[in-house]
Amino acid sequence: MGNITVGGTGKTPHTEYLIRLLQADYQVAVLSRGYKRRSKGFVLAQPDTPVTQIGDEPYQMKQKYPAIHMAVDRNRCHGIQQLCAESVHPRTEVIILDDAFQHRYVKPGLNILLVDYHRLLCEDALLPAGRLREPESGKSRAHLVIVTKCPADITPMQLRVLSKQMDLYPYQQLYFTTLTYGQLRPLFADSPGRPLNQLPPDQHILLVTGIASPDRIVQELKQYTSHVDSLAFSDHHDFSEKDLALIGERFHQLPTSKRMIVTTEKDAVRLAAHPHLDAALKPYIHVLPVEITFLQDQQEQFNSIITDYVSKNSRNSRIP
Protein backbone atom coordinates (compact mmCIF):
# COMPACT_ATOMS: atom_id res chain seq x y z
CA MET A 1 0.00 0.00 0.00
CA GLY A 2 1.46 3.36 -0.95
CA ASN A 3 1.80 6.20 -3.42
CA ILE A 4 4.30 7.92 -5.69
CA THR A 5 3.69 11.45 -4.41
CA VAL A 6 4.65 13.37 -1.30
CA GLY A 7 1.79 14.36 0.98
CA GLY A 8 -1.16 12.47 2.36
CA THR A 9 -3.22 10.14 0.21
CA GLY A 10 -5.01 8.36 3.07
CA LYS A 11 -2.65 5.41 3.56
CA THR A 12 -3.55 4.79 7.21
CA PRO A 13 -7.37 4.55 6.84
CA HIS A 14 -6.91 2.30 3.81
CA THR A 15 -4.46 0.09 5.70
CA GLU A 16 -6.92 -0.09 8.59
CA TYR A 17 -9.63 -1.12 6.13
CA LEU A 18 -7.48 -4.10 5.09
CA ILE A 19 -6.90 -4.99 8.74
CA ARG A 20 -10.64 -5.04 9.46
CA LEU A 21 -11.27 -7.08 6.31
CA LEU A 22 -8.75 -9.80 7.15
CA GLN A 23 -8.17 -9.98 10.89
CA ALA A 24 -11.13 -12.23 11.68
CA ASP A 25 -9.74 -15.03 9.49
CA TYR A 26 -5.98 -14.48 9.42
CA GLN A 27 -3.16 -13.45 11.69
CA VAL A 28 -2.40 -10.06 10.18
CA ALA A 29 0.90 -8.23 10.45
CA VAL A 30 1.51 -4.64 9.40
CA LEU A 31 5.05 -3.54 8.57
CA SER A 32 5.81 0.16 8.47
CA ARG A 33 8.92 2.29 8.31
CA GLY A 34 7.98 3.99 11.59
CA TYR A 35 8.54 7.55 10.45
CA LYS A 36 10.08 9.88 13.07
CA ARG A 37 10.41 7.13 15.67
CA ARG A 38 13.29 7.31 18.14
CA SER A 39 14.41 3.71 17.71
CA LYS A 40 16.39 1.84 15.09
CA GLY A 41 16.11 -1.50 13.36
CA PHE A 42 13.24 -3.94 13.74
CA VAL A 43 10.71 -3.30 16.52
CA LEU A 44 7.70 -5.55 17.10
CA ALA A 45 5.15 -3.57 19.09
CA GLN A 46 3.95 -4.87 22.42
CA PRO A 47 0.91 -3.58 24.36
CA ASP A 48 3.16 -1.25 26.37
CA THR A 49 5.42 -0.06 23.53
CA PRO A 50 5.48 3.77 23.58
CA VAL A 51 4.67 5.86 20.52
CA THR A 52 8.26 7.17 20.42
CA GLN A 53 9.56 3.66 19.62
CA ILE A 54 7.35 2.90 16.63
CA GLY A 55 5.89 6.20 15.39
CA ASP A 56 2.41 7.70 15.54
CA GLU A 57 0.60 5.78 12.78
CA PRO A 58 1.88 2.31 13.80
CA TYR A 59 1.04 3.13 17.42
CA GLN A 60 -2.46 4.19 16.38
CA MET A 61 -3.04 0.92 14.51
CA LYS A 62 -1.71 -1.22 17.37
CA GLN A 63 -4.00 0.53 19.83
CA LYS A 64 -7.06 0.10 17.62
CA TYR A 65 -6.27 -3.47 16.54
CA PRO A 66 -4.28 -5.07 19.38
CA ALA A 67 -4.45 -8.59 17.90
CA ILE A 68 -2.30 -7.70 14.89
CA HIS A 69 1.48 -7.93 14.73
CA MET A 70 2.53 -4.30 14.33
CA ALA A 71 6.18 -3.92 13.38
CA VAL A 72 8.50 -1.21 12.09
CA ASP A 73 11.72 -1.57 10.14
CA ARG A 74 13.36 0.74 7.62
CA ASN A 75 14.69 -2.41 5.88
CA ARG A 76 11.44 -3.97 4.66
CA CYS A 77 13.10 -7.24 3.58
CA HIS A 78 14.57 -7.68 7.05
CA GLY A 79 11.25 -6.77 8.65
CA ILE A 80 9.41 -9.39 6.61
CA GLN A 81 11.95 -12.04 7.60
CA GLN A 82 11.49 -11.15 11.27
CA LEU A 83 7.70 -11.27 11.06
CA CYS A 84 7.86 -14.70 9.42
CA ALA A 85 10.25 -16.09 12.04
CA GLU A 86 9.11 -19.04 14.15
CA SER A 87 9.57 -16.95 17.30
CA VAL A 88 6.63 -14.73 16.32
CA HIS A 89 3.38 -16.13 17.71
CA PRO A 90 0.71 -16.53 16.54
CA ARG A 91 2.34 -17.23 13.21
CA THR A 92 2.03 -14.42 10.68
CA GLU A 93 -0.24 -15.27 7.75
CA VAL A 94 -0.66 -11.91 6.01
CA ILE A 95 1.74 -8.97 5.87
CA ILE A 96 0.45 -5.54 4.89
CA LEU A 97 3.31 -3.28 3.86
CA ASP A 98 2.40 0.26 4.80
CA ASP A 99 3.78 2.97 2.49
CA ALA A 100 5.95 0.58 0.49
CA PHE A 101 4.86 1.09 -3.12
CA GLN A 102 8.30 2.47 -3.98
CA HIS A 103 10.23 -0.19 -2.05
CA ARG A 104 11.69 -2.14 -5.00
CA TYR A 105 13.54 -4.78 -2.96
CA VAL A 106 10.25 -6.51 -2.14
CA LYS A 107 8.22 -8.11 -4.92
CA PRO A 108 4.63 -7.91 -3.68
CA GLY A 109 1.78 -10.26 -4.37
CA LEU A 110 -0.61 -7.33 -4.71
CA ASN A 111 0.46 -3.73 -5.20
CA ILE A 112 -2.07 -1.06 -4.23
CA LEU A 113 -1.47 2.49 -5.41
CA LEU A 114 -3.30 5.40 -3.76
CA VAL A 115 -3.91 8.61 -5.71
CA ASP A 116 -5.36 11.79 -4.19
CA TYR A 117 -8.48 12.95 -6.03
CA HIS A 118 -7.38 16.56 -5.53
CA ARG A 119 -3.94 15.97 -7.11
CA LEU A 120 -4.20 13.43 -9.91
CA LEU A 121 -0.96 12.05 -11.31
CA CYS A 122 -1.71 13.39 -14.78
CA GLU A 123 -2.01 16.91 -13.35
CA ASP A 124 1.18 16.72 -11.27
CA ALA A 125 4.90 17.12 -11.91
CA LEU A 126 8.12 15.68 -10.56
CA LEU A 127 9.73 17.22 -7.49
CA PRO A 128 10.57 20.03 -6.96
CA ALA A 129 8.09 21.48 -9.46
CA GLY A 130 5.32 19.18 -8.22
CA ARG A 131 4.78 16.36 -5.75
CA LEU A 132 5.68 13.28 -7.80
CA ARG A 133 8.53 11.23 -6.34
CA GLU A 134 8.90 9.32 -9.63
CA PRO A 135 7.42 9.62 -13.13
CA GLU A 136 3.73 8.94 -13.58
CA SER A 137 4.66 5.77 -15.47
CA GLY A 138 5.49 4.22 -12.09
CA LYS A 139 1.79 3.56 -11.66
CA SER A 140 2.22 0.60 -14.01
CA ARG A 141 3.51 -1.48 -11.08
CA ALA A 142 0.10 -1.33 -9.38
CA HIS A 143 -2.41 -4.14 -9.55
CA LEU A 144 -5.10 -2.05 -7.87
CA VAL A 145 -5.39 1.74 -8.03
CA ILE A 146 -7.58 3.69 -5.61
CA VAL A 147 -8.49 7.33 -6.15
CA THR A 148 -8.89 8.54 -2.58
CA LYS A 149 -10.65 11.48 -0.91
CA CYS A 150 -13.33 11.71 -3.61
CA PRO A 151 -16.37 13.88 -2.86
CA ALA A 152 -19.13 11.70 -1.44
CA ASP A 153 -21.59 13.17 -3.97
CA ILE A 154 -19.41 12.67 -7.04
CA THR A 155 -21.52 11.76 -10.09
CA PRO A 156 -21.16 8.72 -12.35
CA MET A 157 -20.22 11.05 -15.22
CA GLN A 158 -17.41 12.57 -13.15
CA LEU A 159 -16.15 9.09 -12.28
CA ARG A 160 -16.04 8.16 -15.97
CA VAL A 161 -13.96 11.27 -16.66
CA LEU A 162 -11.66 10.31 -13.78
CA SER A 163 -11.28 6.80 -15.17
CA LYS A 164 -10.20 8.21 -18.51
CA GLN A 165 -7.73 10.58 -16.88
CA MET A 166 -6.12 7.74 -14.91
CA ASP A 167 -5.37 5.94 -18.19
CA LEU A 168 -4.71 2.53 -16.65
CA TYR A 169 -3.65 -0.71 -18.29
CA PRO A 170 -6.20 -3.51 -18.84
CA TYR A 171 -4.66 -5.61 -16.03
CA GLN A 172 -5.27 -2.84 -13.47
CA GLN A 173 -8.43 -2.36 -11.45
CA LEU A 174 -9.59 1.17 -10.53
CA TYR A 175 -11.54 2.05 -7.38
CA PHE A 176 -12.84 5.22 -5.78
CA THR A 177 -13.12 5.95 -2.07
CA THR A 178 -14.24 8.83 0.10
CA LEU A 179 -13.41 9.69 3.69
CA THR A 180 -16.11 9.12 6.29
CA TYR A 181 -15.75 10.78 9.68
CA GLY A 182 -16.99 9.09 12.81
CA GLN A 183 -18.19 10.36 16.16
CA LEU A 184 -16.14 12.77 18.22
CA ARG A 185 -14.85 10.98 21.30
CA PRO A 186 -13.11 12.43 24.35
CA LEU A 187 -9.39 11.68 24.36
CA PHE A 188 -9.08 11.38 28.13
CA ALA A 189 -12.49 10.01 29.14
CA ASP A 190 -14.26 6.73 28.47
CA SER A 191 -17.61 8.19 27.47
CA PRO A 192 -19.94 7.89 24.47
CA GLY A 193 -19.05 9.54 21.21
CA ARG A 194 -20.80 12.58 19.80
CA PRO A 195 -22.02 12.63 16.19
CA LEU A 196 -20.92 15.68 14.24
CA ASN A 197 -24.49 16.51 13.35
CA GLN A 198 -25.17 17.08 17.04
CA LEU A 199 -22.73 19.99 17.19
CA PRO A 200 -24.63 23.25 17.77
CA PRO A 201 -24.11 26.02 15.20
CA ASP A 202 -22.47 28.20 17.86
CA GLN A 203 -19.91 25.53 18.84
CA HIS A 204 -16.37 26.94 18.73
CA ILE A 205 -13.68 24.46 17.66
CA LEU A 206 -9.92 24.67 17.76
CA LEU A 207 -8.75 22.10 15.22
CA VAL A 208 -5.21 20.91 16.01
CA THR A 209 -3.55 18.85 13.28
CA GLY A 210 -0.13 17.58 12.32
CA ILE A 211 -1.11 15.89 9.05
CA ALA A 212 -0.36 16.52 5.39
CA SER A 213 -3.79 17.79 4.34
CA PRO A 214 -6.09 19.19 7.07
CA ASP A 215 -8.37 21.08 4.66
CA ARG A 216 -10.78 18.16 4.28
CA ILE A 217 -11.39 18.07 8.06
CA VAL A 218 -11.95 21.82 8.16
CA GLN A 219 -14.56 21.50 5.41
CA GLU A 220 -16.26 18.65 7.26
CA LEU A 221 -16.49 20.54 10.54
CA LYS A 222 -17.72 23.72 8.84
CA GLN A 223 -20.79 21.82 7.66
CA TYR A 224 -21.95 21.96 11.28
CA THR A 225 -20.41 25.16 12.66
CA SER A 226 -18.70 28.12 11.06
CA HIS A 227 -16.55 28.70 14.14
CA VAL A 228 -13.53 26.56 13.25
CA ASP A 229 -10.06 27.83 14.10
CA SER A 230 -7.40 25.65 12.43
CA LEU A 231 -3.97 25.33 14.03
CA ALA A 232 -2.01 23.25 11.53
CA PHE A 233 1.47 21.82 12.06
CA SER A 234 3.59 19.79 9.63
CA ASP A 235 2.89 16.11 9.02
CA HIS A 236 4.00 13.84 11.92
CA HIS A 237 4.86 16.97 13.90
CA ASP A 238 6.64 16.35 17.18
CA PHE A 239 4.80 18.74 19.50
CA SER A 240 7.12 20.86 21.64
CA GLU A 241 6.39 22.52 24.95
CA LYS A 242 6.10 25.79 23.06
CA ASP A 243 3.56 24.23 20.66
CA LEU A 244 1.41 23.08 23.57
CA ALA A 245 1.54 26.56 25.07
CA LEU A 246 0.33 27.94 21.73
CA ILE A 247 -2.53 25.42 21.66
CA GLY A 248 -3.55 26.55 25.15
CA GLU A 249 -3.32 30.20 24.19
CA ARG A 250 -5.46 29.76 21.07
CA PHE A 251 -8.00 27.67 22.99
CA HIS A 252 -8.44 30.25 25.73
CA GLN A 253 -9.24 32.86 23.11
CA LEU A 254 -12.45 30.97 22.30
CA PRO A 255 -15.73 31.79 24.09
CA THR A 256 -15.89 29.85 27.35
CA SER A 257 -19.46 28.55 27.00
CA LYS A 258 -19.13 26.28 23.95
CA ARG A 259 -15.55 25.44 23.06
CA MET A 260 -13.60 22.31 22.33
CA ILE A 261 -10.36 21.04 20.81
CA VAL A 262 -10.63 18.55 17.95
CA THR A 263 -7.68 16.54 16.67
CA THR A 264 -7.00 13.51 14.50
CA GLU A 265 -6.31 9.98 15.72
CA LYS A 266 -2.70 10.27 14.60
CA ASP A 267 -2.16 13.54 16.45
CA ALA A 268 -4.03 12.28 19.50
CA VAL A 269 -1.46 9.55 20.18
CA ARG A 270 1.30 12.17 20.34
CA LEU A 271 -0.71 14.62 22.42
CA ALA A 272 -1.88 12.00 24.92
CA ALA A 273 1.68 10.91 25.65
CA HIS A 274 3.10 14.41 25.95
CA PRO A 275 4.38 15.25 29.44
CA HIS A 276 3.76 18.99 29.01
CA LEU A 277 0.10 18.83 27.99
CA ASP A 278 -1.86 21.12 30.33
CA ALA A 279 -4.23 19.04 32.45
CA ALA A 280 -6.79 21.84 32.22
CA LEU A 281 -7.07 21.25 28.46
CA LYS A 282 -7.62 17.50 28.66
CA PRO A 283 -11.42 17.55 29.25
CA TYR A 284 -11.84 19.61 26.09
CA ILE A 285 -9.82 17.47 23.66
CA HIS A 286 -11.82 15.28 21.31
CA VAL A 287 -10.65 12.86 18.62
CA LEU A 288 -12.24 12.67 15.17
CA PRO A 289 -11.79 9.18 13.67
CA VAL A 290 -11.87 8.60 9.94
CA GLU A 291 -12.58 5.57 7.77
CA ILE A 292 -12.94 4.99 4.05
CA THR A 293 -16.07 4.18 2.07
CA PHE A 294 -16.01 2.73 -1.44
CA LEU A 295 -18.12 4.49 -4.05
CA GLN A 296 -20.25 3.04 -6.84
CA ASP A 297 -20.86 -0.22 -4.93
CA GLN A 298 -17.23 -1.26 -5.49
CA GLN A 299 -16.63 -2.58 -1.99
CA GLU A 300 -17.70 -6.18 -2.61
CA GLN A 301 -15.53 -6.52 -5.70
CA PHE A 302 -12.50 -5.03 -3.93
CA ASN A 303 -12.99 -7.28 -0.91
CA SER A 304 -13.21 -10.34 -3.13
CA ILE A 305 -9.93 -9.56 -4.89
CA ILE A 306 -8.16 -9.19 -1.53
CA THR A 307 -9.67 -12.21 0.19
CA ASP A 308 -9.30 -14.46 -2.87
CA TYR A 309 -5.63 -13.60 -3.11
CA VAL A 310 -5.03 -14.24 0.59
CA SER A 311 -6.93 -17.53 0.58
CA LYS A 312 -4.80 -18.81 -2.30
CA ASN A 313 -1.57 -17.68 -0.65
CA SER A 314 -2.45 -18.20 3.00
CA ARG A 315 0.92 -19.58 4.11
CA ASN A 316 2.92 -16.65 2.79
CA SER A 317 0.65 -13.70 2.00
CA ARG A 318 1.96 -10.18 1.59
CA ILE A 319 -0.43 -7.38 0.70
CA PRO A 320 1.58 -4.21 -0.09
Q: Model pTM?
A: 0.93
Task: State the pairing for strand pair 69-72/43-44.
Answer: antiparallel
- The DSSP symbol for 135 reads -
Neighbours of 151 (CB within 10 A): 12
Strand partners, 232: 209
pLDDT per residue as tens digits for the range 3-41: 999 888 999 999 999 999 999 999 999 999 998 899 999
pLDDT per residue as tens digits for the range 127-186: 999 999 999 999 999 999 999 999 999 999 999 999 999 999 999 999 999 999 999 999
CA proximity to 5, closest of 109, 107, 139, 98: 139
What was the pLDDT predicted at 313?
Answer: 85
- The DSSP symbol for 272 reads H
Asked if the model's pLDDT at residue 314 lies above 70, the reply is no
Asked if the model's pLDDT at residue 315 lies above 70, the reply is no
What was the pLDDT predicted at 141?
Answer: 94
Interval 223-227 mean pLDDT = 97
pLDDT per residue as tens digits for the range 70-91: 999 999 999 999 999 989 998 9
What was the pLDDT predicted at 212?
Answer: 87
Asked if the model's pLDDT at residue 316 lies above 60, the reply is no
Q: Report the share of the chain in percent with pLDDT over 90.
A: 88
Q: Please tell me the distance from the alpha carbon of residue 60 to that of residue 38, in angstroms, as a whole number.
A: 16
Kindly indicate the confidence band of residue 106, based on its pLDDT and cuts at 50, 70 and 90.
confident
Kindly indicate the confidence band of residue 105, based on its pLDDT and cuts at 50, 70 and 90.
confident
Q: Report CA torsion sign: 160, 162, 165, 168.
A: negative
258 half-sphere exposure, CB direction, 13 A CA radius: 10
Kindly indicate the confidence band of residue 187, based on its pLDDT and cuts at 50, 70 and 90.
very high
- The DSSP symbol for 284 reads G
Lowest-pLDDT range of 53-57, 128-132, 310-314: 310-314
| Distant-in-sequence, close-in-space partners of 41: CB < 8 Å, separation ≥ 6 | 73, 74
Kindly indicate the confidence band of residue 53, based on its pLDDT and cuts at 50, 70 and 90.
very high
Neighbours of 160 (CB within 10 A): 10
Q: Report the share of the chain in percent with pLDDT over 70.
A: 98
Q: Please state, in angstroms and as integers, the Cα–Cα distance from residue 70 to each residue in 76, 104, 232, following that order.
A: 13, 22, 28
Question: Rounded mean pLDDT of the chain?
Answer: 94
Looking at the chain, list the stretches that DSSP marks H as alpha helix, in order from N- to C-terminal side. Answer: 11-22, 51-54, 56-64, 76-83, 156-166, 215-221, 241-252, 265-272, 299-312
CA proximity to 144, closest of 110, 108, 105, 167: 110
What was the pLDDT predicted at 258?
Answer: 94
Asked if the model's pLDDT at residue 214 lies above 70, the reply is yes
